[in-house]
A = this chain, B = another copy of it.
Amino acid sequence: MDYEWQKAQPGDLAQLVGLSHKNFIIRLTPGDRLQTHRGILYHDDLIGIPWGSEVSSHLGSSFFLLQPALSDLIKETKRTTQIIFPKDIGFILITMGIGPGSRVLEAGTGSGAMTTALAFAVGEQGHVTTYELRPEMQQLAQKNLSRLGLQDRVTFILRDIGDGFNERGVDALFMDIPRPEDYIPQVRTTLKPGGFFGCIVPTVNQIERLLNALQREDFAFVEICEIMLRYYKPTAERLRPTDRMVAHTGYLVFARPIITSGKALEPKTLDDELS
């Protein structure tokens, strides 16, 4: 019996992970070859063998043939700017209700790392529309998405969002731009009432300005958080965290546009909830 689903097929995305853990993500293509600093790997030698197999380059270096997870695709995004980390992306998706069939907006395409995550999560039934101001960034993101075969799920729009979004009644909008506080009226107009707004900002000053802008536009249920991820060395008899870690990527800010009947909102007291 032949477990064909266990074997790498032409057209599959594959990750080659070396012993020194240098990663390469490729699309398996008959006739192609992967050039690494530890030797060449021929796609034809990879097609048809089981996933998880150890393979050797022409110089004898070992690699493992794996299928990449979304977090691997994110980490390997070709970038010219800082990208969002998987630790943040996972929490953003789950907090903003983004999943199969979602129709979401992104402001600030950048290198396309978050666009990739959104396109992956919404599936074939969903759709992502992403706005970017800089043509060269949009082109880079388009190339990154096409490389992963996700381009059909994404509409790329080149525009200053100060001019507003085309869409109305959007379920969820994620923003990763330098001055999010300047575009909250535009966000309010495009988001459906009760929709999900999410944003990542690197500095506390941006949070402060954003909080004021959100209040002016009748957003409520604001949540601000940061996620710290700490790895451990995988050694059973000397188990301990790694020596260093990422201390900061950005603050996550979430909010919902509401329709009040005039009453002021009592501020949310998270401490009460936690205790």
Binding site for B on A (CB under 8 A): 3, 5-6, 17, 19-21, 50-54, 56, 62, 64-72, 74, 86-87, 89-97, 99-101, 117, 120-126, 168-169, 171, 192-196, 202-205, 207-209, 211-212, 215, 220-248, 251, 256-261, 263, 265-271, 273-275
Contact = CB atoms under 8 A, between A and B. Distances in A.
A104 B232 CA distance: 26
Given A100-B122, A227-B229, A192 B242 contact: no
Given A87-B91, A192-B52, A100 B71 contact: no
Contacts of A203: 238-240
Nearest to A209: B236
Contact of A121 (B99, B209, B223, B275): B99
16 contacts: A19-B266, A20-B266, A69-B94, A71-B97, A86-B94, A90-B90, A93-B93, A93-B94, A205-B238, A228-B228, A233-B267, A234-B268, A241-B247, A242-B270, A244-B244, A275-B275
A65 B239 CA distance: 36
B211 A236 contact: yes
Given A53-B194, A234-B268, 10 more contacts: A50-B192, A54-B263, A64-B220, A93-B93, A99-B100, A100-B124, A207-B232, A209-B236, A225-B229, A241-B247
